[in-house]
Chains A and B, each alone.
Chain A
Amino acid sequence: MESLEQIKARAENAIAGARLEVILNGSPSCQHSMLVDEEHALAVARFLRDDPLLRFDYASNVTGVDWPDTVVKKIIKVKQIVDGVERELDQSVEEKKAGHLEAVYHLYSMQLNHGPFVLRLRTADRAERNHLPSLTPVWRGAEFQEREAFDLYGIIFDGHPDLRRILMWDEFKDFPMRKDYLEPDDYEYEPTPHADVLEKAQKHVKEAV
C-alpha cells in the first residue's frame, strides 16, 4: 500500500478542491488516519474504492466518536511592570475548544489484500451542524453502522437510504453514547393514558374534600 502522503497527493490531484489531512496516531499500532472535508467526502470515497492502486472495496468498520467541548487551561508568561521593574509573571488563560462528532471508517481491500485505511469525517459542531455525507452509496456495508452512529451519537448522515434508530426504540430522544449523556432516573417511566386518569381522579378527590 502507498503511504498516506502519496494517497493524499494523488487524491488532491484527482479531486479538485478536496482538503485532506493526515492525522498521526501515537500508539504502537501505527494506524494513521486521513481526515477528509465533508463536501468532497463522497468523491474521495469513490476515488479510494475505484483507484486501481488502492481498490478499497470493503468498508470493514464504521463508527462514531464524540469529542466534547473542552476548556484547556494554559499558563503563559506575561511581562508586567511591578514596582518599576519589568518581570515575567505566570498567568493562566482558559482556552475554549469547540467539540465535534467524528465518523471513522476502516477500509480494506479484498482485491489487493491491504489495509486498514482509516478515513475520518468531522462535523462542524455537536449541536445543530451535525451533518455528514453518508458513504452508504459507495459501501453498502456502512448502512447499518451509519444508522448505529446516528442512533447512538446523533450524527445525521445526508443521503442515507434509511436513517432510523436501529438499537434504541423510535421514541427515544437522547444519544446515549455521547460523553455528556445523563442517564434517566427511571428507565421504566413512560407516560401512559393511565397517568391522565390518575391525575383526574386525584383532582376529583381534592374537590370533594
Chain B
Amino acid sequence: MDTPSDTTTAPPPPRNFELLQKKSSTGDTSSDLLEISMGPQHPSTHGVFRMDLVLDGERVVKLKPVFGYLHRNHEKIGENTTYLGSMPFTDRLDYFCSLTNNWAYALAVEKLAGLQVPERAEYIRVITAELTRLQNHACLGGFLLQDMGAMGTPIMYAFREREKILDLFEALTGARMMCNYMRFGGCRCDLPPGWLEQARQVVDAFPRFLDEFEALLNENEILMSRTQGVGFLPRDLAINASITGPMLRASGVNYDIRKVDKYGLYDRFSFRVPLGAHGDVYDRYMIRVLEMRESLKILQPALRDIPEGPIVDPKAKLRGFRPKPGEAYGRIEAPKGELGFYLISDGSPNPYRYRVRPPSLINLTILEDMCLGHLVGDVVVILGSVDIVLGEVDR
C-alpha cells in the first residue's frame, strides 16, 4: 500500500472569499475575519446596492457601502435641458414619492425666479405630499417587516392601501408613479370632478388600516426582539452626520422642515412632530406609524378647506423661462428626509448648476456606525429602517 510522500502537497481548496488576519486590540486571534460582499442583488438591499462587510464570526467589524450601480448623472442631464425639462426627470429620483420630488424642485425654482403660488395650488401640493407620505411610510413598514421574515402579509396590507392612493394620483395626474404634476408657480391641472370626495373616503378609511396594522405589529414579539436596542444612533452623531427625516426624529431631535421653514401652507395646520426616545430601529418604525397619524391630521382640514381659484401664478411662463442670474437652495421635508435642490442660473434657459441633495444617500453616512457589533441579520433590518431608494442614492 502506497503512503503519500511528504513532498507532495495537496492543492489548496477553492476559495470564493478572502481570509484576513484578525487584527484585534486584545490580541485575541481565536477566529479569522471573513470579508463578504452583500449585494448588489441581495433582496434586502431594496435595489442595486452593495455592502462590503468584514465579519468576525457573525458580528460585523467593518462595513463599507458601495454605490453607483444606478448612476446616470442626473445632474448633468439637468444642466443640459431646460428648467421645465427636468421636472419629469425628478420623478425618477425617489420613484416612490414623485410628487414630493416635484414639489422640492418647483420650490427651488420658485425661489430662484421669485414666483408666488396661488392658495388652491398650495392646498393641492400639501394634500398630494401628505398622501405621498402616507403611502411611503406604510410601505416602509411593510418592507421592514418583510426584511425580518414576515413574508407577504404586512407588505400586502400596506400595498392594498397604497393602491387606493395611487388610484387618486392616477385620476389627478394621469400616472400612478411618475406623476410630473407640479409646475413653477402652481400645478399642471386642476382637480378632476369628484376627486376631493374620493380622497376624503381614502383618508377617512385610513385610520382603520392603521389600527389594524398597529394591532398586528406594534407589540409583536418578533418585531420587538429584532428591533429594540438594534442600530442605535446617538443624537449628537445624527445631527453632525446630517441625518434628516424620521431617522433624525427617532434619535430625539425636534427638526421637521415643515415646522422650521413653514413652506407651503404648513403653518395653517396643527400637527405634532413625533420624537423617539431611544434612537433604535423600533423607534424609527414607530415614528413612521405616528407620522402617518399626523399626516391624517393635516389631510382632513386640507380636504375640507381647499378654496376655489387659479392653480398657476399668471406671471409664470412655460415657454422661454429664463430666471435672472443668481442661485437658490430650496428644500422640503420629503418622506425620507430633507430633499433639496440647489440651482444656479446664468440667465440662459438651462440651469448652470442643478444639484439634488438626496436624503437617502446622506442618511447612509452612519450605516457603518449603526451596524458595528451587530449580526448580519441585523444589518438587513438596520438598512431597512434607513429607508433608501436607489434611484435617489445613485442619481
Q: Which residues of A contact B (CB under 8 A)?
A: 25-29, 31, 33, 57-61, 63, 65, 104, 106, 110, 113, 116, 118, 139-145, 152, 165-169, 176-177
Contact of B326 among A27, A116, A140, A168 (CB under 8 A): A27
How distant is the Cα of A143 from the Cα of B362 in the complex, in angstroms? 9
Q: Are B112 and A144 in contact (CB under 8 A)?
A: no
Min CB distance A59 to B, Å, is 6
Q: Are A29 and B242 in contact (CB under 8 A)?
A: no
User: 10 nearest interchain CB pairs?
Assistant: A141-B242, A27-B326, A28-B114, A29-B328, A29-B111, A26-B326, A140-B241, A61-B357, A167-B68, A167-B71
Instruction: Give the chain A neighbours of B330 by CB distance below 8 A.
Output: 29
How distant is the Cα of A53 from the Cα of B353 in the complex, in angstroms? 32
Min CB distance A50 to B, Å, is 12
How distant is the Cα of A141 from the Cα of B337 in the complex, in angstroms? 14
Q: Are A27 and B323 in contact (CB under 8 A)?
A: yes
Interface residues of B in 220-252 (CB under 8 A from A): 237, 239-244
Instruction: Give the chain A neighbours of B255 by CB distance below 8 A.
Output: 110
Q: Are B328 and A60 in contact (CB under 8 A)?
A: no
Instruction: Give the chain A neighbours of B253 by CB distance below 8 A.
Output: 110
Instruction: Give the chain B neighbours of A139 by CB distance below 8 A.
Output: 240, 242
Min CB distance B166 to A, Å, is 30
Min CB distance B12 to A, Å, is 24
Q: Are A28 and B111 in contact (CB under 8 A)?
A: yes
Min CB distance B264 to A, Å, is 16
Min CB distance A144 to B, Å, is 6
Instruction: Give the chain A neighbours of B75 by CB distance below 8 A.
Output: 152, 177
Interface residues of B in 325-378 (CB under 8 A from A): 325-331, 338, 340, 342, 344-345, 353, 355, 357, 361-362, 364-366
Instruction: Give the chain A neighbours of B366 by CB distance below 8 A.
Output: 140
- 21 residue pairs of the A-B complex, CB under 8 angstroms, read A28-B324, A28-B326, A29-B329, A31-B328, A33-B327, A57-B239, A60-B340, A61-B329, A61-B340, A63-B342, A65-B353, A106-B329, A110-B239, A110-B255, A116-B329, A140-B237, A141-B362, A144-B364, A165-B68, A176-B73, A177-B73
Instruction: Give the chain B neighbours of A118 by CB distance below 8 A.
Output: 329
How distant is the Cα of A59 from the Cα of B340 in the complex, in angstroms? 12
How distant is the Cα of A65 from the Cα of B260 in the complex, in angstroms? 28
* New contact pairs (15) apart from A33-B327, A141-B365, A166-B68, CB-CB < 8 Å: A25-B327, A25-B328, A26-B324, A26-B325, A28-B112, A29-B327, A57-B240, A59-B242, A106-B357, A110-B239, A139-B242, A140-B240, A167-B71, A176-B76, A177-B76
Instruction: Give the chain A neighbours of B365 by CB distance below 8 A.
Output: 140-141, 143-144
